[in-house]
Structure 1
Amino acid sequence: MEFDFNYLFGISDETLTWWQMSARAIGVFFAALLIVRVGNQRVFGKHTAFDIILGIIFGSILSRAITGNSPFWPTLVSALVLVLLHRGLATLAYHTSGRLGNFVKGKPIELIKNGEMQHEALQRYSVTENDLQEAVRTQGGTTDISTIETAYLERNGNISIICKKK
């Protein structure tokens, strides 16, 4: 009995059986694991807009391989190309400073400067005083805004706080 890879994964079939979709799901899982490892650990470890977009598109592409809405191999290759694009842009952003890095990864936004809230930045990025106080409490500090030297809305959406020295 010869192993028929195309039959197992329903490569040439018009419709997929439940077990062919299951085999595809297992195959896509391991292919995705391999592809993410090719990308690097950063791909899904951080949550900048750059990384989130990859996650959404990556999942969408791979789901098409499982359900048979797209051809199996070209879909896996396109997922790999997407991860390699992410890695390439991240590498370019690392080696170049300025606009490309800021566009691809974003830049931190100063929300508090010398104990003063930067209301224009707060409004522009929809950060409330309660959001700032939550960030200070989370980092174990006081909720008194005047004791904060600076606060930044980081590229991944977190708020970092640097308190004034006593």
Structure 2
Amino acid sequence: MSLRAIVVFFVALAIIRVGNHRIFGKNTAFDIVLGIIYGSILSRAITGNSPFWATIFAAFTLVILHKLLAIVAYHSSFGFGNMIKGKPKALVKDGEMQKNVMRSSSVTENDIKEALRSSGHKPDISSIHRAYLERSGDISIICKD
């Protein structure tokens, strides 16, 4: 099993290099789902629960699928990218909290104040021009001039 783990480690690195560096660099649902499935599949190659080469090929197939979907999303003009990656949601507009958006996204006023503090601003929501819940789950803030 140790030898298989070593081989799977290096094969997994090679497969990721063929794919896209953003697979594990971003935290969109699109990327996280691949990461979870990729790890689950490769664990089967290590433990021997599935045929070794078939498991490696399945992992490779998922990474290529991820890359192809990312390419299609990049070149799509009909919203495919937003469909698979999501889109940002405006939480604050001109100092006014968008309560319906916040409620549907489970974001509280304290979450927005935390994002303000994290970006080096005083926790005053009225100073916000726009605040967005990004596709990664981060809150980005654009303060008023």
Common fold: TM-score over 0.5: yes
Report the counterpart of residue 109 of structure 1 in structure 2. 89
> 4+ runs of 1 displaced by more than 4 Å?
none
1:130 aligns to 2:110 (yes or no): yes
**In structure 2, the residue corresponding to 1:46 is in which secondary structure?**
coil
Following superposition, the deviation at residue 153 of structure 1 comes to 0.2
Cα 1:139–1:86 shift into 2, 3 Å: same
> How many residues are matched?
145
Q: Over residues 123-162 of structure 1, what are the superposed CA-to-partner deviations in whole Å (9 max), with x where a residue is unaligned?
A: 0000000000000000001211011000000000000000
Structure 2 Cα separation of the partners of residues 89 and 97 of structure 1: 14
Please give the alpha-carbon distance, in whole angstroms, between the structure 1 residues aligned to 2:129 and 2:77.
26
| 1:155 aligned residue | 135
Aligned to 1:162, the other structure's residue is in SS state strand
Separation in structure 1 between the aligned mates of residue 15 and residue 83 of structure 2, nearest angstrom: 25
2:125 aligned with 1:145: yes
Question: Which structure has more RCO (C-alpha within 8 Å, separation ≥ 6)?
Answer: 2
Q: Which residue of 2 aligns with 1:76?
A: 56
Greater CA radius of gyration, 1 or 2?
1
Question: Equivalent pairs: percent with the same residue?
Answer: 64
Letter in 2 for 1:24: R
Unaligned runs of 5+ residues in structure 2 are none
Deviation at 1:40, TM superposition (A): 1.7
CA RMSD of aligned residues (A): 0.7
Cα displacement (A) at 1:104: 1.1
Letter in 2 for 1:89: L
1:41-56 → structure 2 map (5 Å cutoff): 41-56=21-36
Q: Which residue does the alignment assign to 1:32?
A: 12
CA separation of 1:75 and 1:94: change in aligned 2, threshold 3 A: same
Shift of residue 97 of structure 1?
Answer: 3.0
**Which letter does structure 2 place at the counterpart of 1:140?**
G
Q: CA deviation at 1:81?
A: 0.3
Shift of 1:30: 0.3
**What amino acid maps onto 2:67 in structure 1?**
R
- Contiguous gaps of at least 5 residues in structure 1: 1-20
